[in-house]
Each structure stands twice: as structure tokens, then as C-alpha cells.
């Protein structure tokens, strides 16, 4: 195993070098689903939002601060999409179960804190943007027009 991808010891050592390479390439910001939705919003004339706005609890992917609207664009694998239900990795299953449970709990906490502070929260899943891009935009428009 080549140690060049082993950084902090939080994750188990993968069985194959290519796994480390693939996992290291995952991004937290400006993911393909985020960029796709932002392009769709721009095409509809929806602007004036903030990206990864740190002043809001949980740093929503898209935030409309003046309207207190937070939008999270969740990747299906990392956040365990209830629609497409991605498979659990075959190796290191206990690690992944714990990792995904922490991710889901963190997501719930972020939403609860935002709602407690008076924010409206919308979660859009990666698969929804891929399969139904226009419906994703309609959902955003609906939340924006509710003000």
C-alpha cells in the first residue's frame, strides 16, 4: 500500500491504491450537483444568494440570508439518499456505517438549528438534480415565493 494518500488516520487503509486516489478527489464545495443547480437557478434569473455562507449554522450550500432560506445539496453516497439508497461499501463496513450515521446526525442537527433560528431549509439530493433538474428549480422557486 502506498502511503502517499494516507493523511490523518481517520479512515481505514483501503485495500487498493486506486481507492485512496478516488476518495481523495471528492470535494466538499463546488460539486457537480451544486454547479448544475446554480446554473439552472441563474438561467431562471434567480440570483442574490450566498455560497457556503458561514454566518448561517451549518454553512448551507446556497443561502438567501435576507429571506432566511438555506439550501443543502446533498450527495447521495455521503448523506445516504432516501430515494436512490446507495449501497454500503463492501470493505470496512463498520467504519462506513459509523461514518454515514455521523453524517446523517450532523445533517439533522444543522437543519434543526437553522429552523430554530427561523430559517426555512430545503434539501435537494444529487439524484433529484440529475433526474429532475426542473423540479429542483421549481422547489427553490416555491420556497422563495413563500415570503
CA distance 134 to 81: 19
The β-bridge relationship of strands 120-125 and 69-74 is parallel
What residue ranges do the domains of the chain occupy?
1-27, 31-145
Predicted pLDDT at 91: 85
Say what the pTM is.
0.80
Domain 31-145 architecture? 3-Layer(aba) Sandwich (3.40)
Mean pLDDT of 113-141: 97
Q: Are 77 and 68 in contact (CB under 8 A)?
A: no
Mean pLDDT of 117-146: 96
* Cell numbers representing residue 58 in the block: 451549518
Judge whether residue 71 has pLDDT over 60.
yes
- Contacts of 50 by beta carbon, 8 Å cutoff, 6+ apart: 62, 63, 64, 65
- Which residue intervals of 14-132 are DSSP H helices? 17-24, 32-43, 76-79, 93-116, 126-131
Amino acid at each position: 500500500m502506498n502511503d502517499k494518500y494516507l493523511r490523518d488516520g481517520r479512515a481505514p487503509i483501503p485495500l487498493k491504491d486506486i481507492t485512496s486516489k478516488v476518495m481523495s478527489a471528492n470535494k466538499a464545495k463546488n460539486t457537480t450537483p451544486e454547479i448544475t443547480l446554480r446554473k439552472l437557478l441563474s438561467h431562471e434569473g434567480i440570483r442574490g444568494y450566498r455560497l457556503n455562507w458561514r454566518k448561517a449554522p451549518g454553512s448551507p450550500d446556497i443561502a438567501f440570508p435576507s429571506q432566511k432560506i438555506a439550501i443543502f445539496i446533498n450527495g447521495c453516497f455521503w448523506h445516504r439518499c432516501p430515494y436512490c439508497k446507495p449501497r454500503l461499501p463492501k470493505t470496512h463496513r463498520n467504519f462506513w456505517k459509523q461514518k454515514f450515521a455521523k453524517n446523517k446526525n450532523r445533517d439533522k442537527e444543522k437543519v434543526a438549528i437553522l429552523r430554530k433560528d427561523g430559517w426555512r431549509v430545503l434539501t435537494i439530493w444529487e439524484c433529484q438534480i440529475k433526474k429532475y433538474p426542473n423540479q429542483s428549480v421549481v422547489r427553490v422557486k416555491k420556497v422563495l415565493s413563500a415570503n
